[in-house]
Chain A
């Protein structure tokens, strides 16, 4: 009997097959010369092993039905692809050569795409319980950290750029985190009380929400730009502020710009969450003798929590992405590498900024999704 062909499997096989045919890596003798593309299996010794594993994984996607097996095959394929990339870099770079560059090329990205899609598809079919999904997320983070720290990818151009500016990378990474999480914290601090206030005073809703909406329409680039002279002026006018580190250059303008962008989701969702609470529940809470703060903390906030967490998810993912723009105005963060790389047409440097940003946004998004789901269960 011929096994039934899995339709999404066809998609993965086509993308992955194209990836196998296209160059896995691009080799340059130095940063300036034009590169040469090398496909699997020729890119490394024993390249045919990786080729076979990846092809088998894609074939498994075509015929296997059991989600666990599909997941296993996809993860195996991902492992083989990453190993091949590392192996190719080691094999192609002459010993003690610091000029040669081996960069992942279209074939690598397509195979990663195909196998990641297959992983995501298998996970969707599995519908794992919440706890297992947390575990899987943790396992994925641990796997990436393991691969990076094992040194098997050290020959890859991005990792070489990283090795060359390790200290700077850590500094920009922490600025990026400060920008994304700091602005979120500020937005919660300011936005929650505002949301509560406009919930209690309907007359303020229109003006407050309109003002915040208009703020969202200002392009991020301009909002970041406007903050520079404002902070410069503040620093120049109040010596105390300048002494506290406030200035037109540095992290402050970016932080405040991100804060302003975050206000609308926080305020609007606070209002939505509070408004969705059944008035009978609040009435009963008051009638049973809860004080106003008790009604807020024991009834309204827990019931509005899922919507609040959804706002935190939106803001966090959005700010991790927008914080890249801080790199353009000297605010630090991963954007520093992105824009430096764009200026110098050095794609490795762009990747050094873009890949951690995307990973961070992805992890934050998934973690917050899981948190929101957990809170729904709590409130159900």
Chain B
């Protein structure tokens, strides 16, 4: 119950700050020095937030579609040969530092949102893929056998049995991807993507802690909210799948 109350307060505070950043100046003023501005105004924080979210949403959507397609492919009889390889790539890929991926995407995509999107997409593939794989391969044998025994075609088995049962686990993968992407996207500002990282970096460059705090707080609160939102959907999906 206290958890929900905190979430509600956090949501309200976030919306109020995005609607009218200037009215929060007294909150952040103690963190400035030498009369520096307390609120970042170069670009409206709301617009940075929206483009930040858009970038993350696009990356999560694309990684989910691609990762899910790959996971389905390697769990079909025709793609089974790729399964061990896919597992290895997943394990190794996750050790790649997101910042390095971001930096390496610059020569291919140039500066701007492109490399960030690529990095977020690549980094986001792995959690979804890993979880989808776990979900699709971890189904109880009795269930898949029953589906076969009742005469469902492979395609019907996939859509009517396997995917619905794997959904909660897939959603968990999406949640991990979304939360990681949200934080990693801030680094995108070092390659000129329009994200909330811009506010933080401006704070770092001008030694204005207020900027660092407000950029960090907006991203942090969004991460908590997205985390909670996904968890609620996961619980729903799990109860639909008969696991809760």
Q: How far is the CA of A350 from the CA of B179 in the complex (A)?
A: 26
B197 CB contacts on chain A under 8 angstroms: 219, 221
B224 in contact (CB, < 8 A)? yes
**Chain A residue total in the interface (Cβ 8 A):** 48
Taking CB as reference atom, which chain B residue is nearest A6?
B81
Residues of B within 8 A of A366 (CB): 92, 95
CA distance A310 to B211 in the complex (A): 36
- The reply to whether B87 and A350 contact each other, CB–CB distance below 8 Å, is no
Set B91, B97, B203: member contacting A357, Cβ < 8 A: B97
Complex Cα gap A93–B87 (Å)? 41
Within 8 A of A (CB), among B74-126: 81-82, 84-85, 87-89, 91-92, 94-100, 103-104, 106-107
Q: Mark B177-207, 1 if CB is under 8 A from A, else 0.
A: 0010011001101110000110011011001
How many of B's residues come within 8 Å of A, CB to CB? Answer: 47
Selected interface stretch from A36-44, A164-172, A317-325: A317-325
A108: interface (CB < 8 Å): no
- The reply to whether B103 and A226 contact each other, CB–CB distance below 8 Å, is no
- A324 CA to B100 CA, complexed, in Å: 8
Question: Across the interface, do B88 and A124 meet the contact criterion of CB distance under 8 Å?
Answer: yes
A217 at the interface (CB under 8 A from B): yes
CB–CB A357/B100 < 8 A: yes
**Chain B minimum-CB-distance residue to A106:** B108
A302 part of interface (Cβ distance < 8 Å) = no
Instruction: Assess whether A335 is interfacial by the CB under 8 Å rule.
Output: yes
Residues in B whose Cβ lies below 8 Å from that of A219: 182-183, 186, 196-197, 200, 215-216, 219-220, 223
Within 8 Å by CB of A121, from B84, B100, B179, lies B84
Q: Is the CB of B95 within 8 A of A222?
A: no
- CB interface residues, A 209-229, toward B, < 8 Å: 214, 217-223, 225-226, 228-229
State A221–B31 Cα separation when bound (angstroms). 17
In whole angstroms, what is the CA distance A219 to B195 when docked? 12
Checking B97, B106, B191, B215 against A361 with a beta-carbon cut-off of 8 angstroms, the contacting residue is B97
Within 8 A of A (CB), among B211-234: 212-213, 215-217, 219-220, 223-224, 227
Residues in A whose Cβ lies below 8 Å from that of B92: 120, 362, 365-366
- Per-position contact with B for A320-356: 1 when CB-CB < 8 Å, else 0? 1110110011000001001101100001001101100
Which residue of B is nearest A338, CB measured?
A: B103
Contacts of B189 in A (CB 8 A): 221
Q: Is A117 an interface residue (CB 8 A)?
A: yes
A322 vs B102: C-alpha distance when bound (angstroms): 12
Chain B residues positioned under 8 Å from A8 (CB to CB): 81-82, 85
Give the residue among B99, B104, B227 with the most A Cβ atoms within 10 A: B99
B212 touches A225 (CB 8 A): yes
Pair B103/A121 contact, Cβ less than 8 Å: no
Complex Cα gap A329–B31 (Å): 18
| A7 at the binding interface (Cβ < 8 Å) | yes
Query: How far apart are B32's CB and chain A's nearest CB, in angstroms?
Result: 10
B97 touches A322 (CB 8 A): yes
B172 part of interface (Cβ distance < 8 Å): no
Given contacts A222-B212, A225-B216, contact A335 B95 (CB under 8 A): no
Contacts of A11 in B (CB 8 A): 82
Task: With both chains docked as a complex, state the minimum distance between the C-beta of B51 and any C-beta of chain A, in angstroms.
Answer: 15
Q: Is B209 an interface residue (CB 8 A)?
A: yes
Chain A to chain B contacts (Cβ below 8 Å), 24 pairs: A8-B82, A124-B84, A124-B85, A214-B224, A217-B179, A217-B219, A219-B183, A221-B186, A221-B204, A222-B200, A225-B203, A228-B209, A229-B31, A317-B94, A321-B97, A322-B99, A328-B201, A329-B204, A338-B103, A347-B106, A350-B103, A358-B96, A365-B92, A365-B95
Residues of chain B touching chain A, judged by Cβ–Cβ distance below 8 Å, are 31, 81-82, 84-85, 87-89, 91-92, 94-100, 103-104, 106-107, 179, 182-183, 186-187, 189-191, 196-197, 200-201, 203-204, 207, 209, 212-213, 215-217, 219-220, 223-224, 227
Besides A219-B186, A324-B100, A354-B103, 7 more A-B contacts (Cβ < 8 Å) are A217-B179, A218-B216, A219-B220, A220-B186, A223-B216, A357-B97, A357-B100
